[in-house]
Amino acid sequence: FINWKKDILIPAQTPSFKDDILSILRGFRNGCIYGIKIRLPHAAVMTLLFSNDRSIENMSSVIFKKTREHSVHLGQFVMLYKLLIVLIRRVLK
């Protein structure tokens, strides 16, 4: 069970608007970095294992495309989550 007052609202002080914006942007950045760390090795292994008829250039473009797509989606998810947390905190203030 989520206790909104305890878990989302910061008891000591509510962060400034600047801190909220930076939190959202850092969340996007960190989500993208984590997506790259996770997806790049996975895409490389899976592409090398299951793509016998492709050239190296084609395989590398597939790997980078899948890695970029995964990292951007993860970054967007974290950014949306942080944005919702900030909005809930501001509304319940």
pLDDT, position 89:
84
What's the pLDDT band for 92 if we cut at 50, 70, 90? confident
Which phi and psi (to 5°) does residue 9 adopt?
A: -75, 135
pLDDT, position 4:
66
How many CB atoms sit inside 10 A of residue 50's CB? 8
Given a contact cutoff of 8 angstroms between Cβ atoms, the answer to whether 88 and 4 are in contact is yes
Q: Which two tokens stand for residue 72?
A: 């951007």
If we measure between CA atoms, which residue out of 14, 12, 1 comes closest to residue 89?
Answer: 14
Q: What percent of the chain has pLDDT over 70?
A: 87
